[in-house]
Amino acid sequence: MWTAARVATLIGRKFHVSYSVSGATRLMHRIGFSPQVPARRVAERDEQAVTAWKEATWAEVKEPGRPAAATSASRTRQASLADRPKDVPGADAE
């Protein structure tokens, strides 16, 4: 499913124009698109064509994923009250 963020990214990559997510949403509505998801797959679906499209076109369009090393525990650690300086307001509340 296409999201406004992906549409904005695609517009930026293809046309070198920057759109915010809300701007991309408004643009899509202005030209007649609305977010829709099919209820089911059609019986005439050509799986080979879908696979070829995913390998050729989707690989070019999709956003790159984050590397596994970027989600380390040290970057997401929450600060505790013990880490807080003693001279700030609320430091004595525990």
- pLDDT tens digits, one per residue of 38-84: 777 777 888 898 888 888 887 777 767 665 555 444 444 555 556 55
Joined tokens for residue 12: 């930026």
* Residue-number span of the structural domain to which 21 is assigned: 1-36
- Hey, what are 30's tokens? 């202005």
The answer to whether position 16 is within a domain reads yes
Q: Does residue 82 belong to any structural domain of this protein? A: no
Q: Residue 66: its pLDDT value, please?
A: 60
User: Tens digit of pLDDT for each residue in 10-49?
Assistant: 999 999 999 999 999 899 899 888 877 777 777 788 889 8
54 or 2: whose pLDDT is higher?
54
User: For the chain, what is the domain count?
Assistant: 1
pTM assigned to the model: 0.38
Residue 62 lies in a domain: no
Between CA 90 and CA 94 the distance in angstroms is 9
Residue 53 included in any domain: no
